Homo-oligomer: A and B are copies of this chain.
Amino acid sequence: MSSNFGERLKISIFGQSHSDAIGVNIDGLPVGEYIDLEQVQAFLQRRAPGQNAYSTTRTEADVPKVLSGLWQDRTCGAPLCAMIENTDTRSKDYSNLRKMPRPGHADYTAAVKYQGFQDYRGGGHFSGRLTAPLCFAGAVCMQILERKGITIGAHIAAIKQCQDTSWDTVNITAQMLQDVTKKTFPTIDDKAGEQMQAVIAQAKAEQNSVGGIIEAVAVGLPVGLGEPMFDGIESKVAALLYAIPAVKGVEFGAGFAAATMMGSMHNDDFYYDAAGNIKTKTNHHGGSLGGISSGMPLVVRAAFKPTPSISQEQQTIGWETKRNETLRIVGRHDPCIVPRAVPCVEAAIAIALLDLYLLQYRG
């Protein structure tokens, strides 16, 4: 496994869906930083199941317990370790997993990689639950970044073909981000949000699932974050986003659309604004030039495939029967994980940005 990430900031994530606990150990945080654990708890709530009718009915307290690393509510230089106990598990839901790998899941690949020794219950270390410790780490990083003037926010840009409106990624402000992230179903346009929820409900009724796209923006970045060539902003952020289950594509700025543009259109002209700051008139580059932050908003989009666990009948193989088999997944499953993944995307970006921030400002 490589549940370890980072250069200046080291993140180690542990836990399986049905182990005693899941958690994260964070080493390298700047000292003396006040961490508001209630705010962290609130951030985790945004991903917790049982929140709304469109998520699974599995309920977990998801209350993190800090084991070390804080002294009088501030980072004390020692690693910050937080643990979340797994309290609501229904093992019998997963009895089929021993016999047949679920299409679209890591059951098959993990079984081969770990030679049958993997903890298959609930997807083991590949379960979406492991985004909880990722979110804990991200929430801590976000608090520290906020104090440095950096704000991260995300909205659901699309569910299936249903699209939200866009932000003005040249002039977007922290306030505009917060206006959206505070919503239970975070879209810029509420009407689009309602349509998306209808699409998700429809999928649930059909025992099917849908995917979507999350777009995130970070404002207030200083110029100069990113360590080319292999740890540029895009490399760092993408590596972390792909750690979130179901991500199949990551793009920055104009992204894949840039491939269809002429240079004269895609290039963002530089200019001095009234205060003498250097900005660009447009932001097709999405805040990163040569892998280094330009000071313009960082714009990134992550594409999520539809949730693999659907109740419809599927075709797979039998491990022991050695025959092709039919599988019907029962139990509690999200028809769409995108709404719950929004804080995960913000968390991933926060971890990458803090690591790069700590790398840039050195002796």
Contact = CB atoms under 8 A, between A and B. Distances in A.
Contacts of A161: 260
Interface string A102-140: 011110111011111111010011100010000000000
A326 B76 CA distance: 27
Given A14-B69, A104-B289, A228-B125, A317 B271 contact: yes
A251 B249 contact: yes
Interface residues of A, number: 153
A220 interface: no
Contacts of A248: 234, 251-256, 258-259, 285-286
A291 B117 contact: no
B68 A16 contact: yes
A114 B305 contact: no
Interface in A305-345: 305-310, 312, 314-317, 322-324
B160 A210 contact: no
A97 interface: no
Choose among A67, A125, A228, A289 the residue with the greatest number of B CB atoms under 10 Å from its CB.
A228
A270 B109 contact: no
**Number of copies of this chain in the oligomer?**
4
Interface stretch (A21-29, A45-53, A169-177, A178-186): A21-29
A32 to B, nearest CB: 4
Given A12-B27, A27-B4, A211-B259, A103 B270 contact: yes
B259 A81 contact: no
Q: 9 smallest A-B Cβ distances: which pairs?
A: A106-B290, A361-B363, A249-B251, A209-B263, A78-B125, A2-B231, A109-B292, A113-B224, A2-B227
19 contacts: A3-B228, A4-B230, A12-B27, A13-B79, A15-B81, A20-B68, A76-B124, A78-B124, A103-B267, A104-B266, A108-B278, A110-B290, A208-B263, A210-B262, A212-B259, A269-B316, A271-B317, A361-B362, A361-B363
Given A248-B256, A259-B305, 4 more contacts: A12-B12, A238-B242, A248-B259, A249-B258
